Structure 1
Amino acid sequence: MLSSIGPSSIGRALLLHGAGGGGWEWNAWRGVLAASGIEAATPDLQPAAGGLARTTFDDYLSQARSALAALPRPRALVGASLGGLLAMACADEADALVLVNPLPPLPWSTALPARDWPDVVPWRRDARLASTRRALPDSDAATVLFAFRRWRDESGAVVRAAHAGIEAIRPACPVLCIASTQDEDVPPGLTRGLAAAWNAQLLQAPSESHVGPLLGRGAPALALQVCTWLSAR
């Protein structure tokens, strides 16, 4: 099936992970993109020198901009969850934008579920195999174990800023929004609303979770659909 897709005009892509995760979340996508002629960079967002408690949204945004600028054009920018919001904030330097269950910018962020965040969100410390399994209902056992061993703690300031609302301007490049059928972290209706307002194409992912499009059994097939979309840009 991969051979049916011709070489994409997009030769490079920067893939930004979500809060508490890492570049490893894109393992399934990276192989599919490579088979379609797209070289993917999947960096880990790094805490500031003062540690996670002193890390801000702008610290991550600076890293994302630098990583994107290092890729030759034409280049795609792909972000999931928090990575999606970071991608929107630097989409002016991208030639195509793909948003996977993204934390939405203002004004849609006001509808996100309310939560309190400590200075360091202890997702690594509090990780349990059972809770990881519940978070990944559409993943196989090996992926659940892989993810359980790799969750990391996160900056509370970054997550608070994202939920409080970040301004993002509709980019000039083509935009593809992907929404899971079920998502308790970013309700699908918010992604649909963003897609409609930005005149973006919307793809409904047959996933039952927030991170399912990256870590679920259907992740390779979804990545292939994204490659098809990019090849037409």
Structure 2
Amino acid sequence: MPGVEGAERGADQPGSEPGLSRVPARAAPPRHAVLVHGAGGGGWEWELWAAALRAHGIDVRAPDLQPAAAGLAATTLDDYLDQVRDWIAAAPRPRALIGASLGGLLAAACAEAADALVVVNPLPPAPWATRLPQRDWPDVVPWRCDARLASTRRALADADEAAALYAFRRWRDESGAVLRAAHAGLGIAAPACAVLCVASAQDEDVPPALTLELAQAWGATPLQTLTPSHVGPLLGRDAARTAAQVARWLSAR
């Protein structure tokens, strides 16, 4: 995909904002957005994005994914998908789904109910999922129990100390069954709505080449940022700028 100089790279045309020229026509820009967080996180991850979206007149909901009644170990990918479907169905149209990491996969799987989709370093569906780094997931992934500030700083190398401390205090444990199913590959159709795929330049969890390949296969707008980390687009030093660009993409007519 063509590159441009600056913080983001994408397919540009004269007079357009870097990386955001391919904005498919739609009847009206979304006025409501549902934001879906990633594994081990929560709606708190989206605070900078929520502010940027609201500044552009977009109402925001960023709920927390809830474990099944039988507990986290018994929670499945379908449990999370059902929640996301309920959230987007409750949002007035025109509406957008925005998801990061695992939340990106969940959002893409529910995109038939959305008027626009934004995925940020998403866990890719099949067949791309087979190219993710392989890991063994226990029934409960102890990200809250094993959280350390030092490891959080390493994971958020592009964030300031306040953001690292904020995240460290809020990580949560995750369902291993959900992550095993996601990494096995979820079969989903290419979304029919307008799609923006955001990729970190040096993401070690979801290689940016996978996200950009997914964008090409879906006919989506690619936006590659220079933020290095997997969660940097949400919590890094440049997160507010990235969020503002996404808000402008959603608001474009």
Q: TM-score range by the shorter chain?
A: over 0.9
**Separation in structure 2 between the aligned mates of residue 25 and residue 9 of structure 1, nearest angstrom:** 24
Q: Paired residue for 1:78, among 87, 92, 98?
A: 98
Give CA deviations for 1:119-157 in whole Å, capped at 9, x if unaligned: 000000000000000000110100100000000000000
Give CA deviations for 1:179-233 in whole Å, capped at 9, x if unaligned: 0001110000100110010010100112110000000011110011001111125
Report the aligned-residue RMSD: 0.8
For structure 2, the residue ranges without an aligned partner over 5 or more in a row are 1-27
For structure 1, the residue ranges without an aligned partner over 5 or more in a row are 1-7
Q: Paired residue for 1:59, among 66, 79, 85?
A: 79
Verify: 1:45 aligned to 2:60, yes or no.
no
Aligned twin of 2:121:
101
Aligned twin of 1:160:
180
Aligned twin of 2:157:
137
Task: Report the secondary structure of 2:96's partner residue.
Answer: strand
Which TM-score applies when normalising by structure 1?
A: 0.96
Aligned twin of 2:169:
149
**Separation in structure 1 between the aligned mates of residue 149 and residue 213 of structure 2, nearest angstrom:** 34
Report the CA distance between 1:9 and its aligned residue: 2.7
Task: Report the secondary structure of 1:20's partner residue.
Answer: coil
Aligned twin of 2:220:
200
Runs of 4+ in 1 over 3 A off after TM superposition: none
Task: Report the secondary structure of 2:198's partner residue.
Answer: strand
**Separation in structure 2 between the aligned mates of residue 206 and residue 34 of structure 1, nearest angstrom:** 25
Give CA deviations for 1:44-68 in whole Å, capped at 9, x if unaligned: 0000000100000000000000000
Give CA deviations for 1:2-40 in whole Å, capped at 9, x if unaligned: xxxxxx831100000000000000011001111110011
Give CA deviations for 1:57-99 in whole Å, capped at 9, x if unaligned: 0000000000000000000000000000001110000000000
Could you tell me the percent identity over the aligned residues? Answer: 69
Task: Report the secondary structure of 1:113's partner residue.
Answer: coil
Aligned twin of 2:110:
90
